[in-house]
């Protein structure tokens, strides 16, 4: 494997290139005219007039295609909808259908193909979003698709604002895989691919599979897990994020201080009551300017999180060490049960040293057998750890993160950032649920 120094130099060179492109002055900035030049009246030739007459009927036909929607759809599910205007829609249902016909209003320029696949799920009205039967709720920043104030500020002001934010939270409804009517639990033995990473870059994605993660603060406002200078690349169906150095920290709340940059999946996954849930993924970690003998100085992470119960099942990876994690934490809004035989909140870490190299890609898996109450962590096909008699894991989101785990020092505050950072890669995420 290449030494870590070579990776760090390549990364630094890439950052220098991006910085130079962003800072380069416009070559003709001083030659822009202050007054608009006089415009000549367009000269219409006989050929132009003939072309307009010839294309009048085809243009009107295309206008009709843009205005009218007529489709024949076939597929499983049901739907009931009505719309007075675009801002006042009503939809109830859950379906995935193949359609043929006129696509109707395009909204933005695109090829009006006469066929496609349409999916829709659950209510979309404001009242429906607060319905008591929704599967689960987490918090996401409203700035998930727009730059935050810290991203547009100078480096000096960014340092002073990295510990607080005034962004208001919004509630995000997570959806489950299709299952038996009334149960909402996935029963398919087929693998479901969880990708769509392009939405973390696109300002207006057609379907958002991932959101910038974070939690509401007890004092008000919202704490986003986002490094303002992170470089994000989506390539070959993989998500690559570089955050060097880490800058986010919190002096009072530990898990606010731990997570530097993180994404939550917008759908949840749950094992059948008598079956099991398997999650597989690829992940690599390159920690820059960190302490190789201390995994918790900086690492890349993958999480399966039951936010309602505060349960987190994780894999942490650094340059040469991997850790399995099983925890129950006081997430905002979580209702962790009290136990007469053990602590209400806990974290159990098991480290495996010398199992990786800087930037090396590995295949991981989490296997949760709900009926047997067992949990397995796997790496490259071999079992790292098996836990028995685990508490019930309900509807869970997937989280991808870049983190530290350094205790806040009383009287001093956060000590988690000292110039280190990380480069992470995630991909090949797939989920399977199997009935017993």
What does the pLDDT read at residue 65?
Answer: 62
Q: Is residue 46 very low, low, confident or very high in pLDDT (cuts 50, 70, 90)? A: confident
Q: How far apart are CA 98 and CA 50, in angstroms?
A: 41
pTM above 0.85, yes or no: no
Distance linking the first and last C-alpha atoms of the chain: 42
Q: What is the 3-state secondary structure (H, E, C) of 112-134?
A: CCCEEEEEEECCCCHHHHCCCCC
Q: How far apart are CA 289 and CA 291, in angstroms?
A: 7
Q: CB atoms < 10 A from the CB of 381, how many? A: 7
Q: How far apart are CA 302 and CA 283, in angstroms?
A: 8
Residues 137-193 have pLDDT tens digits of 233 333 333 333 333 333 333 333 333 333 333 333 333 333 333 333 444 568 999
Domains delineated in the chain: 137-434 (2.60.120.200)
pLDDT at 315 over 90: yes
Q: How far apart are CA 136 and CA 396, in angstroms?
A: 9
Q: Is the peptide bond before 63 cis (omega within 30 degrees of 0)?
A: no
Span of 157-161, 367-371, 383-387, 423-427 with lowest mean pLDDT = 157-161
Q: Mean pLDDT, to the nearest integer, of 258-285?
A: 96
Residues 116-131 have pLDDT tens digits of 666 665 553 333 333 3
**Token duo for residue 264:** 């939550």
What does the pLDDT read at residue 290?
Answer: 95
Q: Is residue 99 very low, low, confident or very high in pLDDT (cuts 50, 70, 90)? A: low
pLDDT at 383 over 60: yes
Name, of 151-165, 205-219, 306-320, the range with top average pLDDT.
306-320
Long-range contacts of 327-331 (CB under 8 A, 24+ apart): 328/391, 329/255, 331/215, 331/255, 331/305, 331/307
């Amino acid at each position: 494997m290449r030494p870590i120094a070579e990776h760090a130099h390549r990364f630094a060179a890439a950052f220098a290139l991006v910085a130079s492109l962003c800072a380069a002055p416009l070559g003709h900035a001083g030659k822009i005219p202050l007054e608009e030049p006089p415009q000549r009246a367009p000269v219409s030739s006989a050929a132009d007039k003939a072309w307009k007459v010839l294309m009048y009927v085809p243009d009107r036909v295309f206008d009709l295609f843009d205005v009218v929607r007529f489709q024949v759809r076939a597929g499983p599910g049901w739907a009931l909808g009505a719309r007075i205007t675009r801002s006042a829609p009503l939809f109830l249902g859950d379906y995935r259908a193949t359609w043929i016909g006129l696509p109707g209003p395009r909204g933005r320029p695109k090829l009006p193909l006469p066929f496609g696949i349409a999916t829709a799920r659950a209510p979309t009205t404001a009242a429906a979003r607060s319905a008591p039967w929704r599967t689960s709720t987490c918090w996401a920043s409203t700035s998930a698709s727009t730059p935050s104030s810290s991203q547009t500020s100078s480096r000096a002001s960014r340092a002073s604002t990295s510990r607080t934010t005034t962004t208001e939270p919004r509630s995000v409804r997570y959806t489950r895989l299709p299952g038996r009517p009334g149960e909402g639990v996935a029963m398919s033995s087929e693998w479901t691919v969880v990708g769509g990473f392009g939405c973390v870059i696109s300002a207006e994605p057609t379907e958002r599979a991932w959101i910038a993660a974070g939690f509401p603060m007890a004092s008000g406002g919202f704490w986003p897990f986002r490094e303002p200078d992170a470089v994000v690349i989506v390539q070959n169906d993989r998500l690559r994020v570089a955050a060097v150095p880490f800058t986010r920290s919190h002096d009072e709340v530990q898990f606010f201080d731990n997570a530097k940059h993180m994404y939550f999946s917008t759908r949840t996954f749950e094992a059948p009551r008598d079956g099991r849930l398997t999650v597989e993924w690829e992940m690599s970690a390159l920690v820059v300017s960190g302490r190789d003998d201390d995994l918790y100085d900086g690492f890349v992470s993958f999480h399966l999180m039951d936010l309602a119960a505060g349960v987190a099942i994780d894999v942490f990876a650094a340059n040469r060490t991997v850790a399995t994690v099983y925890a129950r934490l006081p997430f905002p809004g979580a209702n962790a049960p009290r136990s007469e035989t053990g602590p209400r909140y806990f974290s159990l870490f098991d480290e495996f040293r010398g199992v990786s190299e800087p930037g090396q890609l590995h295949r991981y898996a989490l296997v949760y057998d709900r009926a047997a109450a067992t949990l397995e962590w796997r790496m490259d096909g071999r079992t790292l750890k098996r836990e028995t008699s685990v508490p019930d894991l309900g509807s869970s989101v997937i989280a991808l993160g870049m983190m530290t785990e350094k205790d806040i020092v009383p009287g001093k505050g956060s000590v988690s950032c000292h110039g280190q950072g990380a480069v992470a890669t995630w991909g090949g995420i797939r989920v399977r649920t199997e009935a017993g």
